[in-house]
Structure 1
Amino acid sequence: MATIYEVSKLAGVSLATVSRVMNNNARVSEDTRKKVEKAMKDLGYRPNSIAQSLASNRTNSIGILVSELNGPFFGQMMAAIEQAFRKVNKHVVITTGHSEKDKEKDGIEFLISRNCDAIIAHVEALSDDYLIELNKGKTPIYLMSRHVQGLEEKCVSLDNELGGYLATKAALDKGHKDIAYITGPQFKADACNRLLGHKRALAEFNIPFDQHLLYIGDFKETGGSEGLEHFIDNKLSFSAVICANDEMASGAIKYAREHGYHLPNDLSIIGFDNISFASYLYPTLTTIDNPIYEMGKVAAQLILKDVYQQKADDLQRVFKPKLIERQSLKQR
């Protein structure tokens, strides 16, 4: 079986040049590319990933660290990243951090130990200082749904404060004044920023924030159902419930319907993320679009540009959310 060294010798080029041809690197002239491809064909050479790695100091693998493997949010993100890399013959290695500091550290160290060329991380428990220090190492880390000052060029994020504002403003514009809010865990930056946006919208309409109408959920269906149960059991007055993500909104919808509420006549519910099932709930869910698929594509394109030197246009790093109005929000 022919080797990469034989291809190099027959083509009269270096091992690094052969590797660049195999990796579709743009820094190879067309004449050189044809010469290497002809040598590969004449020798019957089939590229071997280990040989490519040895010659180029690249493994053509990218690590992905996410909080969970289940759920449509991370599914969309991982699908976008994997598809972008598969098109250029690169592969992903996936692990989880479960939003816990030690597990997120373990996940990143595992991906580094696998010699990934770069890492895309959706981390929530690790500090900004830790991530800044981590990026001084040889393996570049790109952050999803996270903005860290000093790492702006490696962050792909959503303006969550604006999203929280838009959700609450939508309810206020429909005449709702007593608005309950189910937030996510407060160690998560996106949950905190969405809550800040909620408070900004209330202030804009001269409605004081009521701590009694706030429930800290878990970003899962249970958080939505338990939050709504809490408000009802405490006999609080409210005509709308805003949930900091769609999974909690689906839990709230299920609990409301099981307890005799006619939606949206008795209660309006708003979510956040616009994940795939939002338009299949009953009633269909008014929500805030979080373009996680597009954000995943951008994270992949940043790595292709920075790590693999592929050409790319200017890439958007901060995305703007928008309101998706459906049937679950009704005029008061």
Structure 2
Amino acid sequence: MATIFDIAALADTSKSTVSRVISGHGYVSSDTRKRVLAAMKTLDYVPNQLARQLKAQRTQTIGFLMHEYAPVVGDFVNYFTQAAQAKQYRVNIYQTATATDELAVLNRLMTHEIDAVFILTRCNPWDKIIPYTRFGPIATWQRIDSDKIYSSYLDHYPLYRQILDYLATQGVTKIGHVFNDPKAVNTQARLQALVEFQQAAPQIDNSWQYFYQFQAQAGQQAAETWLTTPQPPSAVVIYADFVAAEFIATLRAHGKRVPEDCRVFGFDNSVFSQLMAISTVDAQLPKQAHNAFTSLYNTINQTTEPYQELTPKLIFRETC
């Protein structure tokens, strides 16, 4: 088993410098820090005795990582920080635009500059992220089946199927779909629901489908496409309330009526759906955020704080 002396020798530095890197206290130059971290990875070093000594000196800080910003992200951050503040924890927000940025924050977990990490959206593959759980707990909003990382995801398959089944009972014969990134797990779950729905109701036209990686202007662009479609769908299911709100606003700006000309169903039950009376899915964001923080808190403190049961449901308002 590698020791702190082995790390110092490989990194060509002193034991005290390695200790400063691991503890996160005291100055270490950028180049030296990189050499020490590289040596720790090469030797598969996991701080043990030193980590136990530092246990009473926790930072009470959670690193919150997100690849991109969207309005629903702001809601989630708010709920997550509220849960953290209730337990006297701070939350540092890191906008990790690249895989390198993300690994830099995870290295802070290795050096005990933060106690835990929550990954809202990731850049690196899971096989690069999971090894960091040796240094502290990691949770995510994304779907992952792992005994190393807690996931507060919500399965979109049954919810999307419920929306489609409802529209079918309302006599809708042509349904449009505005999806997020096709590679996203939630999008794949919705697509699977759509495939099975098409098998059960082949008489309904679901060919109007568009994908948008980012929320900004996605609703406007989808609405403009709807307006130029010769026979547009009479109902459109949209992956986020913000996008749905922009879609509706664009249609109305062109003299179209919702739901008379086009029914719209959103997702999230955010403030946008509440203000614009959009039918949507209550995704229970406050409970998802609470459970994500609770998983980190329990692991850090070896406690058994209870989780909140998720009970998502469709909410019917004026647009559908």
The interval holding the TM-score normalised by the smaller chain is 0.7 to 0.9
**Corresponding position of 1:16:** none
What per-residue deviation string (whole Å, max 9, x for no partner) do you get for residues 90-115 of structure 1?
211111235x5444444444565562
Output aligned runs, 1:22-101, within 5 Å: 54=54, 56-69=56-69, 71=71, 73-98=72-97, 101=99
8 Å CA contact 1:241, 1:268 repeated in 2: yes
**1:187 alignment partner, SS class:** coil
Using the TM superposition, give the Cα deviation of residue 116 of structure 1 relative to its aligned residue in structure 2, in angstroms.
1.0
Q: Which amino acid aligns with 2:253?
A: E
1:139 aligns with 2:122: no
8 Å CA contact 1:167, 1:287 repeated in 2: no
8 Å CA contact 1:132, 1:150 repeated in 2: no
Using the TM superposition, give the Cα deviation of residue 126 of structure 1 relative to its aligned residue in structure 2, in angstroms.
3.0
Using the TM superposition, give the Cα deviation of residue 200 of structure 1 relative to its aligned residue in structure 2, in angstroms.
2.8
Distance 1:187 1:103 in 2: 21
**Corresponding position of 1:48:** none
Distance 1:124 1:235 in 2: 39
**1:192 alignment partner, SS class:** helix
Distance 1:287 1:117 in 2: 36
User: Which of 215, 219, 231 is the aligned partner of 1:236?
Assistant: 231
With normalisation by structure 1, the TM-score equals: 0.72
What per-residue deviation string (whole Å, max 9, x for no partner) do you get for residues 260-313 of structure 1?
1111111101111111121111xx100111111111111111122111123323
What per-residue deviation string (whole Å, max 9, x for no partner) do you get for residues 146-193 of structure 1?
221223761111011122222222222211120111111112222222
User: Which of 295, 301, 315 is the aligned partner of 1:324?
Assistant: 315
Change (3 A) 1:172 1:88: same
8 Å CA contact 1:59, 1:115 repeated in 2: yes
User: Which of 144, 151, 154 is the aligned partner of 1:155?
Assistant: 151
Distance 2:109 2:230 in 1: 49
**1:119 alignment partner, SS class:** strand
Change (3 A) 1:170 1:112: farther
User: Which of 140, 165, 168 is the aligned partner of 2:161?
Assistant: 165
**Corresponding position of 1:13:** none
What per-residue deviation string (whole Å, max 9, x for no partner) do you get for residues 75-100 of structure 1?
222222222222222211111235x5
**Corresponding position of 1:296:** 289
Q: Which amino acid aligns with 2:135?
A: K
Distance 2:104 2:189 in 1: 27
**Corresponding position of 1:307:** 300
User: Which of 115, 128, 135 is the aligned partner of 1:130?
Assistant: 128
8 Å CA contact 1:269, 1:286 repeated in 2: yes
Distance 2:104 2:203 in 1: 45
Over aligned residues, Cα RMSD in angstroms?
Answer: 2.5
Q: Which amino acid aligns with 2:146?
A: G
Change (3 A) 1:247 1:152: farther
Gaps of 5+ in 1: 1-52
Change (3 A) 1:257 1:113: farther
Distance 2:106 2:215 in 1: 25
Distance 1:216 1:120 in 2: 27
1:117 aligns with 2:115: yes
What per-residue deviation string (whole Å, max 9, x for no partner) do you get for residues 193-249 of structure 1?
2232233333332346644x0111234251122112223323233111111111111
**Corresponding position of 1:30:** none
Distance 1:143 1:221 in 2: 23
Change (3 A) 1:114 1:235: farther
Q: What is the total number of aligned residue pairs between the two structures?
A: 268
Q: Which amino acid aligns with 1:294?
A: K
Change (3 A) 1:90 1:264: same
With normalisation by structure 2, the TM-score equals: 0.75
**Corresponding position of 1:258:** 253
Gaps of 5+ in 2: 1-52
Change (3 A) 1:265 1:160: same
Which contiguous aligned blocks of 4+ residues in structure 1 show a shift greater than 6 angstroms?
A: none
